[in-house]
Amino acid sequence: MIFGFFRKKKKAQTPADPLAAFDQLIEDLERQGAEVRKSAATLLALKGELTRSVDRYTRRMAELAERYQVAESRADIKAMQVLHRDQQQTETLLKSTREALERAEKDSQLLLEAANEVGSRVTELRTERQSASARLVAGSLVSGAMREQVERIEKVLAVDAARDEIERAHQLAEIYREERGAGEKAD
């Protein structure tokens, strides 16, 4: 069974148009930014839920402490054992919820910063793309003007070459005339 070890990897096609390369990168960054913002929003919602859970467990701890004091004042050992176990469970839940809340706060902050960085990068790339577009237009205008200038120079050179050819033809005719005149005098 072949697992594709010998297959050639497809290279990401780079667009021929340089502006299309900018557009593709901007589109990819915008997609990435949307995903990061979506993840940050999810974590922010989780953060709200965890905050409510911390409040609920804190209230439950206070309630259990009051009930434990009542059971202790009545010397109800069985109730004290049950309430102590409930306090330990609630304390464990409170601790894990606080840890999860802290982690969610850090992660959501990190994702928000990443979303801002991606947004800034997209803005920079859009500005750079506009500048590149202007430079390409200017470059094509300069290239067109240079092409016209080259065509004019080629025409001037062609005219000069034609003049040289005419001059050579005149000189050749002059040489033949001289030879003919010298040949007629000799006869």
Q: Token pair 């300069």 is at which residue? A: 142
Lowest mean pLDDT, pick from 17-26, 28-37, 111-120, 176-185: 176-185
Average predicted confidence (pLDDT) for the chain: 83
Q: What are phi and psi of 9, to 5 degrees?
A: -75, 140
Bigger pLDDT: 11 vs 70: 70
pLDDT in the model for residue 1: 46
Q: What is the CA radius of gyration of the chain?
A: 44
Bigger pLDDT: 104 vs 166: 104
Q: Are the CB atoms for 91 and 61 separated by under 8 Å?
A: yes
- DSSP class of 3: -
Percent of the chain with pLDDT over 90: 32
Q: Which pLDDT tens digit goes with each residue over 129-186?
A: 888 877 777 777 777 777 877 788 887 788 787 788 888 877 877 887 787 777 666 6
pLDDT bin (cut points 50, 70, 90) of residue 10 is: low
First to last CA, the chain: 102
pLDDT bin (cut points 50, 70, 90) of residue 91 is: very high
